[in-house]
Chains A and B, each alone.
Chain A
Amino acid sequence: MKKIVISAAFGLICLFSASRLAFAHAMLVSSTPAINGIVHGPGVAVDLKFNSRVDGKRSRLILVLPNGATQALAVTAQPAPEELTARAELEPGAYTLRWQAVAADGHISRGEVPFKVQ
C-alpha cells in the first residue's frame, strides 16, 4: 500500500508539474511576407527564418485563403537549417500563412503570418 501511495504521489508530481503548453520552441525570427505586410502577386515567395534548426521534411505550411479555405504549400529544399521556404501563386486579397515547425529536437511549434497580396 505504501509503495502504491509513493508511486501515485510521484506520478502526480510529474503530472501536475508538466502543464506548460509546448508552444514556444522553434520561434519565428523573421518572415517573407512580413507579419501584416503587403506583397505583390501573383508569384509570392515564402521564406520563414527560425531561431533554431527545423526539420523541413516534417514541417508544414498552410495558407488560409481570403474565402477561409485552406491550402497546403509544398516546402522546398531548405536553403539553411533554420529556414522554411515555399512558393505560391496568389490572387489579390488577405491571407494568413500558418506554419507548424518541427525542431531538430522533436518539439513542435506553431504560428501564423497574416499578409495581403496586391
Chain B
Amino acid sequence: MIWLTQDFDLLSVLLRALTLSLEALTVGGVLFLLVIATPAMAEAGAREASSRFAGWAALGLAIAQILSAAESAAMLMGGSGLSFHEVVTADFFIADITIVVAALLLFLLTRLRRGSSRFVNPLLAMVIVAGSVALSHGASRLDHRFLLLAFTTAHHLGSAAWIGAMPFLLVTMRRSQETDRLHALVQRFSTMAMISVAVLVLAGVGMACFYIGSWAGLYGTSYGLLVLAKVYLLFLILALGGSNYFLLKRTRGEAKPLLMRLRRFSEAEIGLGFTAILIGASLTSQSPAADMPQDRLTTHEIVHRLGWKQPSLTTPAFAQLSRRVSLKAELESESFTGGSPNDAMDQAWSEYNHHWAGVIVLTAGVFAFCARFGSRRWARNWPLLFIGLAVFILLRADPEAWPLGPRSFWGSFAEAEVLEHRVFALLITAFAVFEWAVETGRLQSRRAAMVFPALCAIGGAFLLTHSHALGNAKEETLTEMSHGPIALFGITAGWSRWVELRLPERDDSRIRRVLSWIWPVCLVLVGIVLLNYRES
C-alpha cells in the first residue's frame, strides 16, 4: 500500500475537486431551472436542454462520489487495516453515500420528466449540498462549528447559483430563438448572479475570519495565499461579469451580435469560476492559517526571499546532490514527515532549473510580442522554445529519478511530485506543438488554436495547486509564493487568449487588441518571476 500512498493522497484531493465542481454544476442547474428558466421565461426546447444537462451533471456527480468513497475505503482498509464495517459506518462515508443517492435520484427524475421533479429536485439539491458541507473543514472544527457549517453552506449555494448556473445560461442562449424573451432571461440571471456574489463573498469573509484570523495568516501561510488567489480570480470574474452587465444594458434592439460577445465573455467567466472552485478543493486539504501561528512567514522573511537577485546559470554536478534513500523507505517516511528539506546543493540545482526555465519563457514571451506587433516572421516559431522547457523538466526536475537518477521511469511515478512534473512536460509539449502549427499557418483549424489557451489555463490551475513536500511549512509557503503568481499569470494569459480567439473577427477591435497584449505580457512576467526564484 505504501507504493500507492502518495498517489492515493493526490487522488483523494483530485476527486474532491471533481465532486465540488460537479456539485456546483448540478445544484446550479437545479437553481437555474427553478428561478431563471421557468416555463414562463424560457422556451420549451431550452428548458429541456438545461434539464438534460443538469441530469448528466448529477450522474457525473454520483459516479465521482462513488469513486471518492471507494478511494477512502481502499485507503483505510488497505493502509490502516480497518474492516469494511468500520469504514461504511463512518460519518464521512454516510455523507458520501447520501450525495450518491440524492444525485442518482436527481438524474432519474430529469430523465423521467415528471412534473413533480420541479419540487423534488430542489430538495435533492439541498441534500447534496448538506452532504458536501459535512465533508468540509467546518464539520471537524472544535469551535463555532454550526456557524462555520452555515457559512460553508452559503458559500456552496452562492457558487452554485453563480458559477454552476452559468453553463446553463449558455445552453439556454444557444437553444433560444426569441431574442426579447432571451434578453429578459439573461437580465434575470444577472440579478441572481449579483445576489449570489454577495452571498458568496459574505460567507467567504465570514469563513476567513475563523480560518485565517489575521493579516499575517493571509499573507504568511499557504492557506492564506490560496485564498488570495481565489480573491484575484473573483476580481477577474467580476470584471468580466461587470462588462456583461453593461453590455446587456446596450443590447436592446440589436441583441443578436452583442449576445454573442456576452457568450464569449461568459465562457471565460465559467473557466475562471471553476478554477476558483478547484482552489476551494485544494483549501480543504490545507490546514487553516488560524491553526498555524508558529508557521507563518514574517514580512521580513518574505521581502528577503522575494527581493531581486542575479539569476544563477551554473549548476552543481549531479554527484554533489544529496543521496536519497530507497524509494520505498522515502515514501514510508514522507507519508509521516511530509518530505525532507533540500540541502544547499539541491537548492542550487533547483534554482538553476527555474532560472533557465525563466530564460526560455521570457524569450518566448518577447518573441510572441515581436510576432504580433513587429511582424517578424521568424518570431512566430516562439512556441518551439517550450519544447526545450519540457525536455528540461523531464531531464532535471527530479534528479533522483530516470534518466539521471537510479529510480526507474515507471517506479518513480509512485512519487506524486514526479508524476506532476511529467504531466507538466506532456502538457507543455502538447501546447507548444499545437501553437507552433497554428502560428506558422500549418494548422488552420479554429479548434487547434484553442489548445494553447486551454492548456495555458489548465497548466496555471495545475501549478496553483502543485505542492512541494519539503517537510517545513514556511519553506513550502515561500516556494508557493513564487509559483502562485506564475500560475495566476498563466491562467490570465490562457483566458485572455481564449476570449481574443473566440470573439467574432468583426467585433470591437479595441477589446481584441487589449486582449492580444495581455497574454504575451503575462508570458514575460512569468519569465521574470522564474528568473528570481530562490530556495534560500
Contact = CB atoms under 8 A, between A and B. Distances in A.
B287 A18 contact: no
A104 B91 contact: yes
Contact of A100 (B80, B284, B291, B461): B80
Contacts of B17: 14, 17-18
Given A18-B282, A106-B91, 10 more contacts: A13-B271, A17-B17, A20-B466, A21-B6, A21-B285, A23-B9, A23-B469, A24-B287, A58-B82, A60-B80
A51 B291 contact: yes
A63 interface: no
A106 B10 CA distance: 15
B14 A18 contact: yes
A100 to B, nearest CB: 6
Interface centre among A13, A82, A110 (most CB of B within 10 A): A13
A19 B13 contact: yes
B363 interface: no
Contacts of A25: 140, 284-285, 287
B416 A21 contact: yes
Contacts of A22: 9-10, 12-13, 285
23 contacts: A9-B458, A12-B458, A13-B275, A18-B13, A18-B18, A19-B416, A19-B462, A19-B467, A21-B467, A22-B9, A22-B13, A23-B285, A23-B469, A24-B338, A25-B287, A27-B287, A52-B140, A53-B139, A103-B140, A105-B136, A105-B284, A106-B91, A110-B335
A9 B458 CA distance: 8
A107 interface: yes
Contacts of B12: 22, 107-108
A21 B458 contact: no
Interface string A81-105: 1100000000000000010101111
Contacts of B13: 18-22
Interface SS of chain B: helix, strand, loop or mixed?
helix
Given A26-B140, A51-B142, A106-B72, A21 B10 contact: yes
A112 B333 CA distance: 9
A69 interface: no
B454 A9 contact: yes
Given A15-B14, A18-B13, A110 B336 contact: yes
A97 to B, nearest CB: 10
A111 B473 CA distance: 13
B90 interface: yes
Given A18-B18, A60-B80, A102 B90 contact: yes
Listed from nearest, the 10 A-B pairs whose CB atoms lie closest are A106-B92, A16-B462, A18-B17, A17-B278, A18-B14, A104-B140, A52-B140, A17-B461, A24-B287, A22-B285
Contacts of A82: 142
A9 B21 CA distance: 13
Contacts of B134: 105
A85 to B, nearest CB: 17
A58 B83 CA distance: 10
B293 to A, nearest CB: 10
A20 B467 contact: yes
Given A18-B465, A106-B92, A110-B336, A13 B278 contact: yes
B76 interface: yes
Contacts of A53: 139-142
B86 interface: yes
Interface in A27-64: 27, 29, 51-55, 57-58, 60
